[in-house]
Amino acid sequence: MTITLIPAYGRDYTSPVDIRADWFADRDFGLGYPRALINRTQFRLAYPGQTANVRYASVAKIHAIPDVAGPLEIPGVLSVRLTHAVTRYDMREASKRGYNPYALAQYLEACDTLERLLSEGVALERALESCFSDRLLQAVRRAVYGMR
C-alpha cells in the first residue's frame, strides 16, 4: 500500500534528491483532505512498512520513498555528526563568561547515552530531548536533521 503526500507550506520540488533531503530531515508534508501535516517520523509510526509517494514538479510527478533507513540510521554517521556538533558548540561557549572547562566531556557522555537509547529502540526526537536541552539541543538537532 502506498500513501500519497504533497509538500507542505507551499514548497515544491524540482528533483527527487530535494524530496529525500526534506523527508529525512523530518520536514512536514500534507496528507489527505482536509490537509493534515505529517513528517517522516510520524509516517513511520502511523504506516509502518508503507511507501510514501510524494508529488512534485507542481504535483505533475510522483517520487516513491520506501520505508528504509535514513542516512542517520546508518551506523557511525550519527556518532560523527553528534561529536562534531557538541565540539563546535563547546568551542563557541569557551569564549563566554562562566564557561565550564569540563563541559565537553559531559556533552560527549550525553552523545554516548543518546546512541545507547537509540539502540534500545527509543525514538530519535525523544532520545535527543532526554540527553540535551536548550541551545545545545538546538545545535544537535541542526546537525542530526541537517537543518541550517
Question: Mind listing the pLDDT tens digit for each residue in 34-93?
Answer: 678 999 888 888 887 788 899 999 889 998 888 765 545 556 677 888 899 999 999 999
For the chain, which residues make up each domain, given as ranges?
Answer: 2-65, 71-145
Vertex 40: Cα angle to 38 and 45 (nearest 5): 85
User: Which residues are paired to 66 by β-bridges?
Assistant: none
Mean pLDDT of 144-148: 58
Residue 5 in grid coordinates: 503526500
- Residue % of the chain over a pLDDT of 70: 89
Strands across the sheet containing 36-38: 36-38, 29-31, 2-7, 51-56, 61-65
Band (pLDDT 50/70/90 cuts) for residue 148 is very low
CA of 8: how far to CAs of 17, 39, 121, 134, in Å?
17, 10, 29, 27
